[in-house]
Chain A
Amino acid sequence: MASISIRNLVKRYGNFTVIPDLNLEIADHEFVVFVGPSGCGKSTLLRIIAGLEPISSGELYIGDKRVNGVQAAHRDIAMVFQNYALYPHMKVYDNMSFALELRGVSKAEIDARVKRAAALLHIEPYLDRKPKELSGGQRQRVAMGRAIVRNPKAFLFDEPLSNLDAKLRGQVRAEIKALSQELKTTMVFVTHDQIEAMTMADRIVVLQSGTIQQYDTPETVYERPANQFVAGFIGSPAMNFFPVAWRQERAILSQGGMVVPLEGESAGRLRLAGDAVLGIRPEHFAVTTEAADGIAVNVKLVEPLGSDTLIHFDLAGVSAIARVDPSLRPKVGDRISLRPQPGKTHLFDASNGQVLR
């Protein structure tokens, strides 16, 4: 168990810089999720921590030890790969015991640890099978078992759920979360799925173009996104953005000039900024009966999800979504009135996307 410290890290491939200058502190026992779109550098960063990619410049510490030039074999970390990367010619038991055998652990100790991990992951019946005889979910568990038996300083997960079907993904996600609480080991998890990030992490690192956009708890990242990118990336369906302006002591949509009912701090911030981008999450719209209280929109599409209903509409030239109570079932073409919930709106600088506070 150990902390991970990344200082002024730069990663280049030839003339192409993937990570320009990154600083990150992961505390001991912490579950940190790297999330971001494809090509944002999250997997590269994980592979750098694992020792599978060299660092162009900067420093990497695992615990108190600087590990820049230390080979993966000597970093004492365990990694679960996207395609599981099990050894196809070895039985499940041998897959799990291999790393311990390399470290000269006694046979009795190996046996005890493998069986303990197998019990934890419910894979005892498969110990004598080869990986090709297992389902995707079982292979995934074996890959985790291979990591667990080692008692490493840190676990690294590289999108381990992306090859599983939706139902299994939810199940394994919960299992990994439970494991992290039981093992109390530093865990770094890479995903492009923001639901995985939100449900599992103690803290989330939101990455874009090799730069950390925000590093905070899931609640903070969701409720107080640092910029428009984070606001748009975290949350499903994504946050709606509308260009707004402060005119004649009122907030109006830049296109169309409709009045937006903004109150309190938000109104104050827009007054100071003059122009901004207003962000409203789909779940933070309320449907009002009084047309004067809200913004009148035409319903373009209705998606009943059971637990709630998504209403698609166009506003100020932007295609937007509202998540409303499932009992509301407007029809396509109906005119409804939506009102942003007080205190749930976000304002971003129109020039650089940073949140206005």
Chain B
Amino acid sequence: MTDAANTDRWIRWLNLVQLVLAGIIIMAPTVWMVLSSFKPSFEVTAYPPALIFTPTLENYVELTRTTPFLSYALNSLIVTVGSTALGLLFGIPAAFAVSWTRISWPAILTLAARMAPGTLFLLPWYVMFRQVGMIGSYTALILSHAVITLPIVIWVLLPSFDGIPRSVFEAAQVDGCSVTRILWRIALPLVASGVAVSAILAFVFSWNYFLFALVLSNGDTKTLIAAAFNFIGEGSTQWGALMAAATLIALPPLVLAALVQRWLVSGLTLGAVKG
């Protein structure tokens, strides 16, 4: 066997090892979480962990019996859908405006806002929402989560809009379109898959966001992820129910991502619209 063939074989093996390691690191907590949610509660924290056990739904039953789980799920849905819709409503025209004018600082500003720690916004928001009596309202939660969704929509859609040949917009101008009409009639249909991808990503990020809901919600508007935190108590954490809750919380984003996996990848690499 030649040196080159030997090197190729080693590279293939190393790639495989890397993939397996990455898979274990990423998947192990998820697998452990799902398995634990089906274990009897006394076995969840047993050491060494039991790999063979009789699956039970007792944690799920306990979860729905002791908590208003469906109400929390509905709250999560309202906040996530609301903030995603808000992100799309303002993010689509914003991304188009940045692409159209080629003035990029507004997009960079929103990216900076997305990268800043959530605590930076939390205190001013808390004070502001309290002053107007909105603490615990859906509106406060939706508005705060728009900080998550808006930059995602803008940054996913920007390359999509940039990928449309400028002459297509110019043809529409000559045809008699205003800029607004160009956005709705020409640009938006051409970036439909980008819009879908940005909506899914915004949904997932908003659904998973914990900090704002923890502080700005109340008992009636608590989201699933903030409610799950309540299972961790001092010395009496219900690990089994917590695992069941975590599994159910992770389910919508995972299902969504699995359903549109191919679309997601192509949408994220979107950049060119071919006529």
Contact = CB atoms under 8 A, between A and B. Distances in A.
Contacts of A87: 168, 171-172, 186, 275
A85 B176 contact: no
Interface in B166-198: 167-168, 170-178, 181, 185-186, 189-190
Given A83-B167, A88-B190, A146 B275 contact: no
Contacts of A99: 175-176
B181 A102 contact: yes
A78 B167 contact: no
A132 B172 CA distance: 18
A86 interface: yes
Interface stretch (A69-77, A119-127, A284-292): A69-77
Contacts of A50: 170, 174
B274 interface: yes
A84 B275 contact: yes
A52 B273 contact: no
Contacts of B172: 87, 98
Interface in A257-306: none
A103 interface: yes
A85 B168 contact: yes
B170, B176, B177: most-surrounded residue (chain A CB, <10 A): B176
Given A87-B186, A88-B168, A78 B174 contact: yes
Contacts of B173: 51-52, 71-73
B165 interface: yes
B189 A73 contact: no
Given A73-B177, A99-B176, A89 B190 contact: yes
A72 B275 contact: no
A55 to B, nearest CB: 16
Given A50-B174, A98-B175, A103-B176, A83 B165 contact: yes
B194 to A, nearest CB: 13
Contacts of B274: 88, 132
A61 interface: no
B168 A73 contact: no
B177 A79 contact: no
Interface in B25-70: none
A82 interface: yes
A131 interface: yes
Contacts of A78: 174
B167, B186, B273: most-surrounded residue (chain A CB, <10 A): B167
Given A82-B167, A83-B165, A89-B190, A102 B176 contact: yes
Given A102-B177, A132-B275, A89 B189 contact: yes
22 contacts: A51-B173, A71-B173, A73-B173, A73-B175, A77-B174, A79-B170, A79-B174, A81-B167, A81-B170, A82-B167, A85-B170, A86-B171, A86-B275, A87-B171, A87-B186, A87-B275, A88-B168, A89-B189, A89-B190, A98-B175, A102-B175, A131-B275
Interface of B: 165, 167-168, 170-178, 181, 185-186, 189-190, 273-275
Interface of A: 50-52, 71-75, 77-79, 81-89, 98-99, 102-103, 131-132, 139, 146, 150
Ranked 7 nearest A-B pairs via Cβ: A85-B167, A99-B175, A85-B171, A88-B275, A72-B173, A102-B176, A89-B189
